[in-house]
Amino acid sequence: MMGTNNQTTIIKETGNNKQSPQLSDDTGLSIGSVKDLKENWQKWTHEHREYQEHNPFSHNTRPTAAVPQKGQDTYGRPLVGSMTELRGKDAHSNISREVRQLCEVIRDIGEPRDKDGAGDGADDDGKVMSVHFGKLFEHYVTISNKVVGILLRARKQGLVDFQGEMLWQGRDDHVVITLL
């Protein structure tokens, strides 16, 4: 055996006891004769063509399945039962768990305040739990480094409220976050 450029020369005996050299590469494909080269090429092109028919980013194929149009219930959603759908469900449950955990932390370290913002320490009707962003950030950053993103998600779900579009550590430490 001799080898150059990831190819190995194999001496193959044919039926009439003549030896003909064949090349074999890392894929295990035998590329000794022109006929073998042609067969390997045809096999590869057939496999590639089949792959491209199922590739959604290929421009030279027509979709084999009906593509949902805007306004349909399935538009912008992964196929039912696909790995993408499973990953999306897992991500959703993880984010929901983190939002619940953040609300529990606010409830634990927060102070009861009137809905208008004045706090007297009592937890009566008309009171909400509130915490300053700086205090929440310092406490929650040991749990997760995605404090701001989780706060934005919780506000989108209507669980917390705070002033401003985005909170920044240091600059917005005085912003009050209210658990609704």
Q: What is the pLDDT of residues 65-118, one digit of tens each?
A: 667 778 888 788 888 888 999 999 999 999 999 999 999 999 999 888 877 655
Q: Which residues contact 69 (CB under 8 A, 6 or more apart)?
A: 75
Question: Under CATH, what is the fold of the domain 85-179?
Answer: Arc Repressor Mutant, subunit A (1.10.10)
Which pLDDT belongs to residue 144? Answer: 77
What angle do the packed helices 133-140 and 147-156 form, to 10 degrees? 120
The tens digit of pLDDT for each residue in 38-70 reads: 999 999 999 998 888 877 777 765 556 667 778
Report helix, strand or coil for 45. Answer: helix
Distances (CA, A) of 165 to 100, 172, 180: 21, 11, 18
Residue type at 16 in one-letter notation: N
Q: Does the pLDDT value for residue 7 go beyond 60?
A: no
Say if residues 107 and 129 touch (Cβ distance below 8 Å).
yes
Nearest-angstrom CA–CA distance, 48 and 26:
19
**Model-wide pTM > 0.85:** no
Nearest alpha carbon to residue 115 among 102, 126, 123, 124: 126
Q: Where are the domains of the chain?
A: 2-54, 85-179
